[in-house]
Amino acid sequence: MTEYDYWKIFPRMPRKVTIGDITIRDGFQHLEKFISTEAKITYLEELIFANFISRAAKKGINMDDVVLTAITIREPSVDRAIALKKRGIGPDRVLMMVSTEEEHHFANSGTSLPNYWKEAERSIKKCSDAGIKMCGTVSTIWGSPIGGATDLKDAVEFTKYWLSIGASDIEHADHDGSASAADVYRYFSMILDEIPDTSLHVAHFHETKRVAAASVLAALQAGICHFEATLGGLGGQPANFLGDRPIKGTGDYYYDDARYVGLICLEDTLVQIDEMGIEHGYDVDRILWLGKQMEKTVGTRLRSEAMINGRTLKEGHMQYARPGLAKIKKKLSESPNQSFPE
């Protein structure tokens, strides 16, 4: 007999997850359009409200429950974050990143892996002294857009090394959408076998082939509880063109079409998880509304489908019903809920 209870089939799958929105952090960096500071603050505040709305109505928002993260790929950025923290306006958490494939790592950081690890260890010590947490990212887990195929076992060892030098948690990143669902399940099962504390692991998927929803599901099945997403699926390699002029960025783009490189959509991922009955804490309707506002800000159609089609309504959409069914059933002497002939 087939087992129908999903949680019995996948006993590690969580009943509750957290989804960190990184639109401001990762999403806007890819745009070739300048987004004002005022707009960034507006969206940051709205995203916080959307994640705390039920609690805020009762007792307000406690900012101790909000974690603000900054990307600090190199040590000078870490130093700037620490300086801001000393002024009372710095981040709670920063992020540094390694790739298991060194050409990809070099493209993003400008230095070798051994040298970067030494820099990361120094930076973690500085952050610890300043009261800032350091998230260590592991990229190219499922493949590299530059070097090609990679080995999942390498990413497990990179994860262990981050934790050994003091990282507070690990972002496991598929930055170019290389992952298949089967390999996502395999990798996170390997990770949780080695390091079972789920609070240490964050899944970060990019959507390049319209298969990332399957990766989210596979990560859930393996037991991952923490995810990242952006409004409209924004994000990708930092832009090398802004407004009407070229800028440095991180050099040439390592993909063919800049429209299809962003993260999983917050809107679609929330609807997916919400309709599975998994607790997440967001006001889904407010996020769907916010996604529509983001398209106005950016000035183009983004990638969310749920933002257009909405949630699956249990009551249906009776405004689209063809008139006359009740009359026909009465004429045929059928009861209102009758589906088969008597």
Q: Taking residues 148-176, report their average pLDDT.
A: 97
Task: Give the pLDDT confidence of 105-115 residue by residue, as tens digits.
Answer: 999 999 999 99
Is residue 206 within 8 Å of 241, Cβ to Cβ? no
Task: Give the pLDDT confidence of 280-295 residue by residue, as tens digits.
Answer: 999 999 999 999 999 9
**So what's the pLDDT on residue 322?**
96
DSSP letter assigned to residue 321: P
Is residue 152's pLDDT more than 80? yes
CB atoms within 10 A of CB 198: 18
**So what's the pLDDT on residue 327?**
96
Task: Give the pLDDT confidence of 169-203 residue by residue, as tens digits.
Answer: 999 999 989 999 999 999 999 999 999 999 999 99
pTM reported for the whole predicted model: 0.92
Domains and CATH numbers, the chain: 6-317 (3.20.20.70)
Type of residue at 246: P
Is residue 10's pLDDT more than 70? yes
Name the residue with higher pLDDT: 137 or 240.
137
Is residue 80 within 8 Å of 130, Cβ to Cβ? no
**So what's the pLDDT on residue 316?**
85
Q: Taking residues 17-33, report their average pLDDT.
A: 93
DSSP 188-241: HHHHHHH---GGGEEEEEB-SSS-HHHHHHHHHHHT--EEEEBGGG---SPPSE
- Location of structure tokens 């040590």: 75
Q: How far apart are CA 80 and CA 51, in angstroms?
A: 28
DSSP 281-311: ---HHHHHHHHHHHHHHHTS--S-SHHHH--
Is residue 59's pLDDT more than 70? no
- Residues present in the chain in total: 342
CB atoms within 10 A of CB 168: 18
Is residue 12's pLDDT more than 60? yes
First-last CA distance in the chain: 31
Q: How far apart are CA 236 and CA 176, in angstroms?
A: 8
Q: How far apart are CA 290 and CA 283, in angstroms?
A: 11
Is residue 58's pLDDT more than 80? no
Q: State both tokens at 329.
A: 């059933």
Question: Which long-range CB contacts under 8 A does 108-113 form with residues at least 24 apart?
Answer: 108/73, 108/139, 108/250, 109/73, 109/74, 110/74
| Banded model confidence at residue 314, pLDDT cuts 50, 70, 90 | confident
- Secondary structure (3-state) at 304: coil
DSSP letter assigned to residue 334: -
**So what's the pLDDT on residue 91?**
96
- Location of structure tokens 């262990």: 160
**So what's the pLDDT on residue 56?**
47
- Location of structure tokens 């009955």: 277
**So what's the pLDDT on residue 53?**
60
- Secondary structure (3-state) at 155: helix
Is residue 179 within 8 Å of 224, Cβ to Cβ? no
- Location of structure tokens 């059928």: 334
Q: Taking residues 55-82, report their average pLDDT.
A: 85
| Banded model confidence at residue 204, pLDDT cuts 50, 70, 90 | very high
* Phi, psi dihedrals of residue 255, rounded to the nearest 5°: -155, 165
Closest among 75, 303, 317, 328 to 206, alpha carbons compared: 303
Is residue 223's pLDDT more than 60? yes
Q: For all residues of the chain together, what is the average pLDDT? A: 93
Task: Give the pLDDT confidence of 292-305 residue by residue, as tens digits.
Answer: 999 999 999 999 99
In the structure, how many helices (H) and strands (E) does the chain have? Answer: 12, 9
